[in-house]
Amino acid sequence: MNANTFRAPWGKTLCWMSAFSSVVLTAAVLPAFWVRGPEWVPWALSLPVLLVPGALLFIVRDYTLEPRELLIRRLLWTTHVPLTGLKSASYQPNMMRGSLRLFANGGMFSFTGWYRNRSLGNYRAFVTELKNTVVLRFEKKAVIISPDHPEQFVAEISRCAAQNS
C-alpha cells in the first residue's frame, strides 16, 4: 500500500451485524425443510447462497487518495469519487447515527449505499467502522467513509484539495 492508502477496518457493529445476518439467512432454510419437506430445500438455500456472496461484493477494503480523486477499493472493483468541488472534509464520529436507509446495505459486510439524515440530507456511504466516519462535503452531495486514521485522512485530503484549487 502507498502512503495515501488508508485501510477500512471493521468495527464491532459491522462484525456483529454481518454474523447475525448470515446466521439469520442460513436459519431461514430450516422452516422450509420442516414445513414443506426436502424438495423445498434447494429453493430455500438459494436465499443465503445468493445474498451472502452478493453482499460480500460490496465490502470496502481501503481508501486511496489520488491527486484528483478518491479510490474506494471493493472486492472486485474500485469506486471513483472525483475530488472536484470538495468543499470540506471533517472527522465526525458516528455521523451515520439516526440515518434512514434509502437504497443501501445496512450492515452485511459493509454500510454502503444511499442514506439520509437531518444534518447532511441525502448522502452516499462507504463505511466499515461507524466510530471513524469522515464526512466529505461537495457542492451538491456528501459522502461518508471510515478510514483507519480519520484525522490523518482529513489532513491528507485537505492537502490534495488545496493542490487542485
Question: Rounded CA gap, 96 and 125, in Å?
Answer: 9
Question: Residues 6 or more apart from 86 whose CB is under 8 A from it?
Answer: 136, 137, 138, 157, 161
Helix (H) or strand (E) holding 22, with range, is helix 12-27
Per-residue pLDDT reduced to its tens digit, 113-130: 999 999 999 999 999 999
Per-residue pLDDT reduced to its tens digit, 8-50: 999 999 999 999 988 888 787 777 667 766 776 677 777 777 8
Residue closest to 60 by CA, chosen among 124, 10, 15, 18: 10
Phi, psi of 153 (to 5 degrees): -60, -45
Whether residue 165 has pLDDT greater than 70 = no
Per-residue pLDDT reduced to its tens digit, 82-112: 999 999 999 999 999 999 999 999 999 999 9
Question: Rounded CA gap, 107 and 98, in Å?
Answer: 14
Residue closest to 144 by CA, chosen among 165, 101, 115: 115
Query: What are the helix and strand counts (H, E) for the chain?
Result: 4, 10
pLDDT of residue 74: 96
pTM: 0.90
Strands 142-145 and 134-138 turn out to be antiparallel
Joined together, the cell numbers standing for residue 49 give 447462497
Whether residue 70 has pLDDT greater than 70 = yes
